[in-house]
Structure 1
Amino acid sequence: MSNTVAESVVDTQTNTGPLQDTATATPSSPYTEQPLKLKGRQRMLAGLKRISSSQSLARLSTTRSRAYSGNGRGSVSCMSLPSTQSLNTPSLATSLTQELSAGYSTAPTSAVSTPGVQLPLFDERARVRYLSTLDGKTSAAVPTDYRPATRSGLTPGIPEVNEDYFSRPVSKPQQKTRDFNFWRDLPSELKMEVLTYLEPRAIVRCSLVSKSWHKMCFDGQLWSILDTADFYQDIPAGALVKIITSAGPFVRDLNLRGCVQLRERWHAKGLSDACTNLENFSLEGCRIDRSSIHNFLYSNTRLVHVNLSGLAGATNFSMKIIAANCPKLQHLNVSWCNNIDARGLKKVVDACPDLKDLRAGEVRGWDDLDLMQDLFVHNSLERLILMNCDSLTDESLTTLIEGRDSEVDFLTGRAIVPPRKLKHLDLTRCRGITDQGLRSFVNNLPEIEGLQLSKCHGVMDATLTDLFPTTPLLSHLDLEELEDLTNDTLLCLAHSPCSKRLRHLSVSYCEHIGDTGMIPLLKACTNLRSLEMDNTRISDLVLAEAAAMMRRRTPRTLVQGGKLVGAAVATGTGTGFRPATGLRLVAYDCQNVTWTGVREVLSRNAEVFVSTHTAELPPLDRQQRSHPPSSPSSSSSSAVSSSTDVHLPHPSSPPTPTTTPPTAPTPPRLHITRTTSYPTEIIQLKCFYTFQPTVEEHTKRVLRGDFLAARRLERKWAEFMMAQEEAGAAGAGGRRRRRRAREAQMMHADEATGTGTGVGMGEGEEAGGVGGVGGGGVGVGGGRRRRARSGGCAVM
């Protein structure tokens, strides 16, 4: 018996056919007997058989084992042998259609003679099972419907074994999520681009974050343009030295204007030798010694713009270094440098052929004709600033414009020379020149745009009237304190070709200029932006003409229904309801300018026009006009009319003629549109000092768009000025002022109600007026009861 059981187990492992366990024989079997106790090897094999066929040990959630793969034929060792069934029980082979293979094994069974085992009625072969469509909780051999449930909830039958008992689930190692740091992973080029949007002071503060930030904030790529004009008072000397020394070769534009904190640091850590690629260099207002200036000039051979204004350390030797090392120089500013004269400038002019801008205010030696001849020969200057140069004479100025020993035209008496390229010429306070030197400008400055001749005494009308027709590009003209000028100069300027281009004009302290020349000028020069005419003979008519000129030249901002319709597109200054400053007028200390002219300017600034446009809409039809479909009354009326009875007349009665009453003509439908226009540009006025606070407050309200408050202020100020004029008049004005004071005093003394007589006495023609009639007239209170007074007559 033991050999039989062992044979069945071995045959089960070798796929010889399906067998039934001897221990699971039913009572209906003819070979019913007690199971034998196995020993040794048979007991171990039987235990393995039970383990492999146990359904409770199947791991449903893990992967399949290699030994029980579903690709080949089905293994019998992974199936428990079912108990014997009756002949009436349906066959299990017919119920597994999708899970079983079409091929069957033809090997004969080896358990035919084994007792206690009932053979099947048909030759059952091994089947291939598709485990992919089976549920983990469902047996692979027997359907769920035919499986009786056990006490533990598991169904006996053929379980599906996915893996071995000794296999362990293999867990894949989880990859650690990478720490994401946006700023750390950002490319260095983008970091630099982000930092360029910060202010220099903020960049210096960011350098305190860490060492990497410190290195990044002091990188030379951030400091290619170092302009300390906005923060030179806030940045310490140590940080400024650190920036210059670390960014040295990267710096192209270096502006240290006003950095007095570097006074003791110029030789620290090679500050003056750090920058070697400068193109624009400014040391204006710095306290720097001579050697440091020379180091900067020696180290930078690509300089284009040099500003040494006001430096005592700048000398003629510095000009010699510039002439030797800076051939590309185009702009040079040595104004107020006391140790530089014409000899040093001559070296620069000879060595720098591209010099376009020379600013040498208050520099000595401009009477040197050799220097003037060099400037004439090169003819490259576009801007020449010679303010406060007393050494400039008529001869040197003529040499600058016409040269020496030039060919002269016998018909006109003028030198035949090429025109100068000068665009800006400043001769302010050059007391050595006269009208004779300025005659050389005629027909020789066709490209001049800015001409400043203020405080040059001796300039006459004849010279300027000949000059203005030859300067079609003139836009800035300064004629301050030219006492000999008259209205003829302004009349000539109004008819000259430059009248439409003139933007700035100063005729302050020209005491012979008045309305005769200024009014035609304002009518012709419509693009003026600045007009200084203080201490002249102008009157209120000039201010009124200026307001009219602004009203004509600037389009207005239109607002229709709360929406912006049109604005000043040409000028680009109007933004919504807030205007911009279009003209600056200086008219203080003018004896003929009164508050009336000032009010004219204020009234124009707060000028708001409201226009109403009426448009006729298309008429409605008769049905819509009588009963609009949208109104509830029309629906109710139609309902009532439809429900009322219609009474017919009696046949014997004569027919009553029906007449339709005439309908009144329907008024046309109108659509009213309101358009408001606001000023786009206003006039900023500087006037008499007692009027100036009111003018500034009015301008402030207009600039912020509060036009109602501005007009109210203008009205109240006009009433106040009229009251002052009325009170300050001679004769009756004094009596009127005293009468109003007396009336105010008596009104405060009266009670609210009642009647009484007042004791008052008029003066002169006012005796019978409001104050009273004689000594006992009716009081001011108009019949009111007077409060008891302790004294007698106030006048007596």
Structure 2
Amino acid sequence: MRNVHDSKRRSRESSEAPASPDAGIAPTPPDVPFKGRNRQRILRGIQRISSSPSLPGLGRPRAISNPYSIRRGSISCVSLSTAGPSQTSSSARSATPQLSHLNLKGVAGPDSPTGKREATLEVTELDDTEECLAIRKIQHGSPNTSSATSSLPSELKGRTKPVEKKDFYFWDNMPHEVRIHIFSFFRPKELVRLSRVSKSFYGFCFDGQLWTSIDASEFYQDIPAASLARIIAAAGPFIKDLNLRGCVQVEHYKRTEIIVKSCKNLMNATLEGCRNFQKNTLHSLLRSNEKLVNLNLTGLSAVTNTSCSIIAESCPQLESFNVSWCQKVDARGIKTIIDACARLKDVRAGEVRGFDNVATAESIFHTNNLERLVLSGCSELNDEALKIMMHGVDPEIDILTGIPEVPPRRLRHLDLSRCIRLTSTGVKAIGHLVPELEGLQLSGCKSLTDAALEPILASTPRLTHLELEDLEEITNTLLSEHLAKAPCISILEHLALSYCENVGDLGMLPVMQKCVRLKSAELDNTRISDLVLAEAASMVVKRSKPSPGANTRPKVTLRLAVYDCQNVTWTGIREVLFRNAQIRHVVGQPMGITYPTESIGLKCFYGFQMTVDEHQKRVLRGDLVSAGRLERKWADYMQANEEAGAGGAGYRRRRRRARHAQALHADEEDGGVVGRRRARTLGSCSVM
């Protein structure tokens, strides 16, 4: 134990003893094994590695963040140095963390008593002032340089701090007009939501330039009433087009006052459906907007003849005026506006009373500026008033033609539907005086006959819409002899003959053959049969343009309403379905086949409608093979049903339908004379 303690004491004394300046390594105690050669070998290896020019390229790149913090006394560095300063070449960035000075204190040359080069390993602490991590310098142009680098300019060497980038406020520096244009792409509901972002956005969202046209009928259910009132109040001076149709938010009197006080430059105003609009508020709105061009007051109870007088005084530029279903207005108020507004072209006064007034009829005749006149449901309109509107009072009559010598009317659309007091005498006066007429509606005038419509069809070459619903006195002669030969038959697009019970195949077949631009035909509750459907399908095929491409999708270009027609069976429906999906073979085409581009939309018996709708869906999406398969299976199903009912009730039902169809055909052949059923015979009687 004593020897062990002595050896420990001697080793501690030898470690605390300072190194001799004359010797590189302290003498080793006799009881400790000598390791000088191994240490010298390690130090030479370190010196050789540190002076190698390929050292930086062998290691991994240095991390961006140094894990060693530079603090006093935090870490020690090993300094190795030789007797002479050795120049080392390396890359600008060392592959390993840089250490401090490599100081090798050795004795070499004549000063060393031993004549050998020895080195000592010193451990020095980092100092905050001068002894920081050494940076390995690189001499540019040296052959030992492994990578080329460029030094900073002289004017930038003194700068140590990076230049701070200033914030660029792109939105604030943008012109006001550009920002307004960006907000103009948002919908009204989106603008209301964006207004909550900031005060700046609030000002842009409710800027009047974005609300020059307000159509509240599209979004009034999506935004609160307060927001709508705020919009109108903010954009009032800019609003030119205001549509509040069906808008329930303005029914409160306070909100209507906001509209009146804000809107001063209206040109188009629609207040239809605002039933609680007060009379005084409406009059204030009319007085404050002298630039009104189009005014729609449909169904407002606040509109009276006094309102019409205010309009006549305050709105001289009025062109369109609609007071349909206003119960407190009569024909005298309409007369006031017609006399005062010289630019008036459109008057709609459906179900307005008092149109049997001769003075009102004279005003309509003298103005001769009206292009649209809607008097539907005016039950007091009679033949005398209608004649004065067309001919005036006591006109001169041409002896040869019997036509009054008056300027032709400029009417383009005339609606006299449900005027039950009109007869053929009054409606006949329209003929030869309306050459520019494009739309004529006479539905519900049940006393009209063929004689009332013959002169009209012969003198209206621009007629495209004709509605003759519920006219029981119209026959096939009017259609086959007059409509089919009229100058407008080639451009007729809409034909309504619903509930014309005397119209059948004899009248409609010539019309379907010559009316090549027909887009819709309402033939429900008539006596047409499958022949009309087949002719309509053939007409559509003839007018459609051939398409050699299989990717072409057909479009519905003709809509037929044939429900409640007793003579229309599944056979006629199948013919239409077959034509809609037919792929035809044409000689002149390169591929030899053409695909359909037009189809017919049917509204038929409710038992067939589901199949027709499914077939139309397949045709419109271009799946013609599937549509054809559906048509064939449906035909097989209907034929099987008929064969299943061949005996018993099914047989009797078919015989009854055949007899009924033959009787109807016989009635048409006899000119509509219907005799007793028992007296009519289908063949010669063997007894009599």
- What is the TM-score with the length of structure 1 in the denominator? 0.61
Deviation of residue 345 (structure 1)? Answer: 1.2
* In 2: Cα distance, 1:144 partner to 1:284 partner: 92
Amino acid at match of 2:565: C
Q: 1:269 to 1:459 in 2, by over 3 A?
A: closer
Deviation of residue 242 (structure 1)? Answer: 0.8
Q: Which residue of 2 aligns with 1:105?
A: none
Q: 1:242 to 1:168 in 2, by over 3 A?
A: closer
| Segment of structure 1 superposing worse, 486-495 or 194-203 | 194-203
Match of 1:475 among 464, 467, 470: 464
Mapping 1:104-143, distance limit 5 Å:
none
Whether the aligned pair in 2 keeps the contact of 1:386 and 1:427 (CA below 8 Å) is yes
Deviation of residue 727 (structure 1)? Answer: 0.8
Deviation of residue 173 (structure 1)? Answer: 8.2
Deviation of residue 172 (structure 1)? Answer: 9.2
Establish whether residue 541 from structure 1 lines up as the match of residue 516 from structure 2: no
Establish whether residue 249 from structure 1 lines up as the match of residue 200 from structure 2: no
Match of 2:557 among 582, 590, 595: 582
Q: Which residue of 2 aligns with 1:685?
A: 602
Bigger Rg, which one:
1
Establish whether residue 593 from structure 1 lines up as the match of residue 563 from structure 2: no
Deviation of residue 711 (structure 1)? Answer: 1.3
Mapping 1:369-408, distance limit 5 Å:
369-408=358-397
Q: Which residue of 1 aligns with 2:506?
A: 516
Q: Which residue of 2 aligns with 1:499?
A: 489
Establish whether residue 723 from structure 1 lines up as the match of residue 622 from structure 2: no
* In 2: Cα distance, 1:549 partner to 1:723 partner: 30
Amino acid at match of 1:350: D
Q: Which has the higher contact order (CA 8 A, sep 6+)?
A: 1
Mapping 1:749-764, distance limit 5 Å:
none
Deviations 1:526-547, CA, capped at 9 Å, x for gaps:
0000011111111100000000
Q: Which residue of 2 aligns with 1:319?
A: 308
Q: Which residue of 2 aligns with 1:276?
A: 264
Match of 1:190 among 178, 186, 201: 178
Deviations 1:615-640, CA, capped at 9 Å, x for gaps:
xxxxxxxxxxxxxxxxxxxxxxxxxx
- For 1:183, what is the secondary structure of its paired residue? coil
- For 1:699, what is the secondary structure of its paired residue? helix
Mapping 1:425-440, distance limit 5 Å:
425-440=414-429
* In 2: Cα distance, 1:326 partner to 1:613 partner: 63
* In 2: Cα distance, 1:403 partner to 1:611 partner: 59
Amino acid at match of 2:329: I
Mapping 1:584-663, distance limit 5 Å:
584-609=559-584
Deviation of residue 265 (structure 1)? Answer: 5.2
Whether the aligned pair in 1 keeps the contact of 2:183 and 2:204 (CA below 8 Å) is no
Match of 2:413 among 402, 424, 431: 424
Establish whether residue 530 from structure 1 lines up as the match of residue 520 from structure 2: yes
- For 1:184, what is the secondary structure of its paired residue? coil
Q: 1:689 to 1:169 in 2, by over 3 A?
A: closer
Amino acid at match of 2:567: N
Match of 1:206 among 194, 201, 204: 194
Q: Which residue of 1 aligns with 2:77?
A: none
Deviations 1:121-143, CA, capped at 9 Å, x for gaps:
xxxxxxxxxxxxxx9969xxxx9
Match of 2:455 among 466, 472, 475: 466
Whether the aligned pair in 1 keeps the contact of 2:493 and 2:518 (CA below 8 Å) is yes
Deviation of residue 675 (structure 1)? Answer: 5.8
Q: Which residue of 2 aligns with 1:88?
A: none
Amino acid at match of 2:345: K
Deviation of residue 315 (structure 1)? Answer: 1.2
Q: Which residue of 1 aligns with 2:56?
A: none
Whether the aligned pair in 2 keeps the contact of 1:293 and 1:313 (CA below 8 Å) is yes
* In 2: Cα distance, 1:266 partner to 1:292 partner: 10
* In 2: Cα distance, 1:451 partner to 1:268 partner: 38
Whether the aligned pair in 2 keeps the contact of 1:266 and 1:272 (CA below 8 Å) is no
Q: Which residue of 2 aligns with 1:37?
A: none
Identity of aligned residues (%): 50
- For 1:319, what is the secondary structure of its paired residue? helix
Establish whether residue 699 from structure 1 lines up as the match of residue 616 from structure 2: yes
- What is the TM-score with the length of structure 2 in the denominator? 0.70
* In 2: Cα distance, 1:731 partner to 1:237 partner: 68
Mapping 1:300-339, distance limit 5 Å:
300-339=289-328
Deviations 1:169-228, CA, capped at 9 Å, x for gaps:
754986532323443333222222222222111111111111110110000111111112
Whether the aligned pair in 2 keeps the contact of 1:316 and 1:343 (CA below 8 Å) is yes
Q: Which residue of 2 aligns with 1:92?
A: none
* In 2: Cα distance, 1:713 partner to 1:285 partner: 46
Amino acid at match of 1:252: K
Match of 1:710 among 627, 644, 656: 627
- For 2:510, what is the secondary structure of its paired residue? helix
* In 1: Cα distance, 2:246 partner to 2:156 partner: 80
Whether the aligned pair in 2 keeps the contact of 1:266 and 1:292 (CA below 8 Å) is no
Q: 1:269 to 1:354 in 2, by over 3 A?
A: closer
Deviations 1:281-320, CA, capped at 9 Å, x for gaps:
0000113221221121111110000000001111111111
- For 1:411, what is the secondary structure of its paired residue? coil
- For 2:607, what is the secondary structure of its paired residue? coil
Gaps of 5+ in 2: 1-136, 144-152, 652-688
Match of 2:227 among 216, 239, 244: 239
* In 1: Cα distance, 2:284 partner to 2:164 partner: 58
Deviation of residue 597 (structure 1)? Answer: 0.1
Q: 1:730 to 1:137 in 2, by over 3 A?
A: closer
* In 2: Cα distance, 1:497 partner to 1:412 partner: 19
Amino acid at match of 2:618: R
Whether the aligned pair in 2 keeps the contact of 1:265 and 1:271 (CA below 8 Å) is no
Deviations 1:54-93, CA, capped at 9 Å, x for gaps:
xxxxxxxxxxxxxxxxxxxxxxxxxxxxxxxxxxxxxxxx
Match of 2:207 among 197, 216, 219: 219
Deviation of residue 608 (structure 1)? Answer: 2.1
Deviations 1:480-505, CA, capped at 9 Å, x for gaps:
11111111111211111101110000
Q: 1:384 to 1:268 in 2, by over 3 A?
A: closer
Whether the aligned pair in 1 keeps the contact of 2:494 and 2:521 (CA below 8 Å) is yes
* In 2: Cα distance, 1:299 partner to 1:715 partner: 68
Deviations 1:332-379, CA, capped at 9 Å, x for gaps:
000000011112111111110110000000001101111111111110
Amino acid at match of 2:197: V
* In 2: Cα distance, 1:732 partner to 1:427 partner: 48
Whether the aligned pair in 1 keeps the contact of 2:250 and 2:256 (CA below 8 Å) is no
Whether the aligned pair in 1 keeps the contact of 2:240 and 2:268 (CA below 8 Å) is yes
Deviation of residue 144 (structure 1)? Answer: 11
Amino acid at match of 2:365: F
- For 2:347, what is the secondary structure of its paired residue? strand
Amino acid at match of 2:583: V
* In 2: Cα distance, 1:496 partner to 1:267 partner: 54
Pairwise CA RMSD of aligned residues? 2.8
Amino acid at match of 2:638: M
Q: 1:170 to 1:416 in 2, by over 3 A?
A: same
Establish whether residue 264 from structure 1 lines up as the match of residue 264 from structure 2: no
What is the number of residues matched between the two proteins?
507
- For 1:229, what is the secondary structure of its paired residue? helix
* In 2: Cα distance, 1:514 partner to 1:268 partner: 55
Deviation of residue 271 (structure 1)? Answer: 2.6
Q: Which residue of 2 aligns with 1:151?
A: none
- For 1:384, what is the secondary structure of its paired residue? strand
- For 1:185, what is the secondary structure of its paired residue? coil
- For 1:432, what is the secondary structure of its paired residue? coil
* In 2: Cα distance, 1:540 partner to 1:676 partner: 28
* In 2: Cα distance, 1:315 partner to 1:377 partner: 24
- For 2:457, what is the secondary structure of its paired residue? helix
* In 1: Cα distance, 2:201 partner to 2:156 partner: 52
* In 2: Cα distance, 1:315 partner to 1:265 partner: 19
- For 2:471, what is the secondary structure of its paired residue? coil
Q: 1:374 to 1:585 in 2, by over 3 A?
A: same
